[in-house]
Amino acid sequence: MSTFSNPPEVEELSDLSWKRIEARTLDRLSEEAMVGGAEDETQKRTSILWPLLGGTALAAAAALFVLISGTSSDTGEVAGGETAGGKTAGEVVALESLAQPPSRENSLITTHQEASLLDIGPASVEIAANSSVYIAQHGEAVTLILDSGSLSIQSKGGALIVRAGELEIHAEDSSFVVNRTELGSEVAVNQGSLVIHQGSQQFTLRAKAQWPIPASEAELAAAETIAPSATKASRKSPRELFEEGQGLEASSPRSAIASYKKAWSSKGPWSANALFAHARLEEARGNRKRAQKLLRRYLRVYPNGANSQDARELLR
């Protein structure tokens, strides 16, 4: 054996995972820069950072933003009317003018080949490439309507509402990603928490959680919203909860099950382990029906998970 002729394939990460990692990394970097005094806070609040296209700030500004005022069409195409600055709709904003933050009241922003970053009211927003977002600003309140594509948002207090399809997301002091696809809207929370309205239902999404969430988790999230005190139930990470469950299995299996349940109710890599461990413990306690239900759930959510083979064997 010299080198492997057919090495194991690298498991790809989902786009949502990449967006989450990217947002977390850059958020952390910003925090470190702020601590180190590397950033001019005032400039940060007011500046727009444009895509790096030409290597210079001026060339970077040419990211095909088309800013218009008034209403926009549903498809994100430029609609008629005038911009806040009095320019005819659809007119390309002069490069020089991009050095200053344009008026963003009732603007449609469409990105093409490059993502763009902007600070707007209570949030820093990164608009992914090939995205279209309508911005409505009324005093302090800002509403972003995602028509297509993806947004990474760091809200810094103040009222921020993001609409993506049938979802309405209310955010304060949180970092999250919203992605709108043909199949629906996806949300991933990096920091803080969000309140999501879908029709008449309301859900609370915490850090590391994603939307859509599995049915049982949705029930949990909804329950948390109904009983706010329950939202403070546990601040332990899924991993800590999992390890807690491990430690309690022998002395207090019921408590162990409660810990596992909390762990697998949250998103993240330890969720799979916790779900399987819960199923295994129910099996060991003779609760065969419950165990089977959990194992089937495990296989449905993680068909290729590390314990999928065992889950299938236990189901037989």
Partner 1 sequence: MGAKLIVETQRLSDLEIRDLCGQGDRAAQLRLFRDHKKRVHAILYRILGSNQDIEDLLQETFLEVFRALPRFRGESQLGTWISCICSRVAFNYIKKRKPKPEPLDEARHLPVAAPGSDDIVDSRAAAVRLYVALSKIETKQRIAFALHVIDGRSMQKVADMTESTLVATKSRVLRARKRIAKLATRDPYLARYLSEQEQTP
Write the CB contacts of 167 (distance below 8 Å, at least 6 apart in sequence): 178, 185, 187, 196, 197, 198, 211
Give the Cα separation of 217 and 196 in Å (integer).
14
Quote the least distance from Cβ 130 to partner 1, whole Å: 13
Our CB check for partner 1 shows the closer of 87 and 290 to be 87
Our CB check for partner 1 shows the closer of 113 and 252 to be 113
Our CB check for partner 1 shows the closer of 52 and 141 to be 52
DSSP string, 38-90: -S-HHHHHH--PPP-SSSSHHHHT-S------S---TTSPPPSSB-TTSPBTT
Our CB check for partner 1 shows the closer of 110 and 179 to be 110
Our CB check for partner 1 shows the closer of 110 and 155 to be 110
Quote the least distance from Cβ 243 to partner 1, whole Å: 7
The residues with which 189 forms a beta bridge, in sequence order, are 176
Give the Cα separation of 250 and 268 in Å (integer).
25
Give the Cα separation of 202 and 169 in Å (integer).
10
Quote the least distance from Cβ 55 to partner 1, whole Å: 5
Give the Cα separation of 253 and 168 in Å (integer).
40
Quote the least distance from Cβ 83 to partner 1, whole Å: 11
The residues with which 145 forms a beta bridge, in sequence order, are 134, 163
Give the Cα separation of 70 and 80 in Å (integer).
8
Which residues of the chain form contacts with partner 1 (CB under 8 A)? 1-8, 10-11, 13, 17-18, 20-22, 24-26, 28-30, 32-33, 38-39, 49-55, 59-60, 62, 64, 66, 68, 77-78, 89-92, 110, 112-113, 115, 117, 126, 242-243, 246, 269-270, 273, 276-277, 280, 304, 306-307, 309-310
Quote the least distance from Cβ 272 to partner 1, whole Å: 8
Quote the least distance from Cβ 28 to partner 1, whole Å: 6
Write the CB contacts of 139 (distance below 8 Å, at least 6 apart in sequence): none
Closest CA to 94 of 58, 53, 131, 132: 58
Our CB check for partner 1 shows the closer of 217 and 244 to be 244
- Encoded amino acid at 302, one letter: Y
Our CB check for partner 1 shows the closer of 53 and 161 to be 53
Q: Is the dihedral of CA 14, 16, 20, 25 positive or negative?
A: positive
Quote the least distance from Cβ 76 to partner 1, whole Å: 11
